[in-house]
């Protein structure tokens, strides 16, 4: 099995009260300082993973496509640098339906960006975001996610493959329930024989905050307590089974090792 992390770019945002919902701003700033990071501004990377496993070339999550900021939407460019053509992708596996993970699947002209790929979406995630009644009742702030899911998946509602988190998705790729960030969020283990990789998608946002302090809740977690339990459960498994870890918002090469540190964990990327 070969895994390649491919950057879609970054987003930068000023650090504001409320980004961490359950910690005072001063504690958040201190955690950033301890990690050698700026305390006034956050840099969040977006990093999909390509795995060559079981005879498939599988892309996990798709970046922002043509719908993000000028600092992201760079997945295609960077796949090109890695020598991976879009039509060589045979499967796209989606962790959850937030726009930064699905918008890259279809461009503004309406075309699928990975034309030969079968599309795999977690069943409970699909059920949540494609529910018209729930969309009508949703606050405006979250309507964009419902719209993105419809734009991306509407035309392929019949072709896409749904999977229950926990099921094997493809040979060598098993999904894991990882609810919290969103109602059907899935993580994955990818089996390389002697070495396993976990791709935990958004089980944690910025590592210096939420890997280091796994009980902190990022503002995007829809169910903060479920997300907290998921984060600890997945992290403990990565360590117990000596897996490599990849995550969509992890720093550096975004693939690396996890270790227990105090009441939380430290993530060390294989390449800084
Ligand atoms: Zn995300």
Domains of the chain: 2-269 (3.60.15.10)
β pairing state of 195-199 and 186-192: antiparallel
CA of 144 to the centre of ligand 1 (A): 14
Q: What pLDDT, on the 0 to 100 scale, is given for residue 181? A: 94
> For the whole prediction, is pTM greater than 0.95?
yes
Report which of 140, 135, 149 is spatially closest to residue 103, judged by C-alpha positions.
149
CA of 205 to the centre of ligand 1 (A): 7
CA of 61 to the centre of ligand 1 (A): 9
Burial of 35 (0-12, 13-18, 19+ CB in 10 A): middle
Q: What distance in Å separates the CA atoms of residue 126 and residue 263, rounded to the nearest whole number? A: 35
Mind listing the pLDDT tens digit for each residue in 109-158? Answer: 999 999 999 999 999 999 999 999 999 999 998 999 999 999 999 999 88
Give 77-81's long-range contacts (Cβ < 8 A, gap of 24+). Answer: 78/6, 78/7, 78/8, 79/6, 79/50
Burial of 91 (0-12, 13-18, 19+ CB in 10 A): buried
CA of 155 to the centre of ligand 1 (A): 23
Q: What pLDDT, on the 0 to 100 scale, is given for residue 207? A: 98
CA of 228 to the centre of ligand 1 (A): 16
CA of 122 to the centre of ligand 1 (A): 15
Q: What pLDDT, on the 0 to 100 scale, is given for residue 141? A: 86
Q: What distance in Å separates the CA atoms of residue 194 and residue 75, rounded to the nearest whole number? A: 29
Q: What distance in Å separates the CA atoms of residue 148 and residue 97, rounded to the nearest whole number? A: 8
Q: Are 126 and 99 in contact (CB under 8 A)?
A: no
Residue 106, C-beta contacts closer than 8 angstroms, at least 6 positions apart? 65, 112, 113, 151, 152, 155
pLDDT < 50 positions in the chain? none
Q: Are 94 and 55 in contact (CB under 8 A)?
A: no
């Amino acid at each position: 099995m070969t895994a390649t992390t491919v950057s879609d770019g970054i987003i930068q945002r000023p650090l504001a009260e409320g980004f961490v919902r359950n910690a005072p701003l001063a504690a958040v700033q201190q955690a950033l300082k301890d990690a050698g990071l700026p305390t006034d501004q956050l840099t969040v990377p977006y990093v999909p993973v390509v795995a060559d496993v079981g005879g498939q070339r599988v892309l996990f999550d798709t970046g922002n496509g043509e719908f993000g900021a000028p600092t992201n939407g760079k997945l295609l460019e960077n796949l090109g640098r890695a020598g991976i053509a879009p039509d060589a992708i045979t499967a796209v596996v989606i962790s959850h339906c937030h726009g930064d993970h699905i918008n890259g699947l279809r461009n503004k002209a309406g075309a699928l960006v990975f034309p030969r790929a079968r599309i795999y979406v977690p069943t409970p995630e699909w059920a949540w975001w494609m529910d018209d009644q729930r969309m009508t009742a949703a606050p405006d702030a979250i309507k964009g996610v419902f719209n993105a899911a419809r734009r991306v998946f509407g035309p392929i509602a019949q072709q896409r493959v749904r999977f229950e988190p926990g099921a094997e998705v493809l040979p060598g790729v098993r999904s894991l329930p990882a609810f919290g960030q969103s109602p059907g969020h899935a993580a994955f283990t990818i089996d390389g024989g002697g070495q396993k990789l976990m791709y935990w998608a958004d089980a944690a946002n910025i590592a210096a905050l939420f890997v280091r302090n796994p009980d902190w809740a990022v503002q995007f977690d829809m169910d903060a307590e479920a997300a907290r339990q998921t984060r600890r459960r997945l992290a403990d498994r990565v360590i117990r089974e000596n897996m490599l870890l990849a995550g969509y918002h992890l720093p550096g090469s975004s693939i690396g090792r996890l270790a227990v540190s105090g009441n939380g964990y430290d993530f060390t990327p294989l390449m800084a």
